[in-house]
Amino acid sequence: MLGWILALLFVTSLTAISCSDDDSPAEHDVFVGTYDGTISYDNGDGEPIYAGNGSVTVVKAGDNYNFVFSNGIPDITGVEFESDGETLINVGATEFQYIRVTAGTLQILYTENENDVWTANCTR
């Protein structure tokens, strides 16, 4: 019985912090939104992971963002952003580390440790 109560509380709290498709992450201190589209990951050691119909869940808590990928792609965590109106671009963005988030789109070309490369071109 206690397990059902805890599960119900978890689902209720997740629903309360989830945002509608037209909410911008720039407008909230807490944000959870899922973007669907083309995603990929390559670490240079074998087969890259590619999904034409994948998803990325964006989770914002305070100033940090986490990007939770589907299809076994490792997550990107602890990213900070600068706001330009309703568009967010990661702090220190370069041509090798670029994440752009709006209410309706997510674009990622993110390189870490010279070999790990994530890409995403997604919409909500």
CA atoms within 13 A on the CB side of 121: 3
Amino acid letter, residue 121: N
Give the pTM: 0.74
Backbone angles phi, psi at 84, to 5 degrees: -125, 80
**Domain harbouring 110, CATH code:** 2.30.29
- Number of folded domains that form the chain: 1
Q: Which domain holds residue 26?
A: 2-123
pLDDT by residue for the chain (124 residues), tens only, comes to 444 443 433 433 444 444 444 455 555 567 899 999 999 999 988 889 999 999 999 998 887 899 999 999 999 999 887 776 666 677 776 777 888 888 899 999 999 988 999 999 999 9
Residue type, 31: F
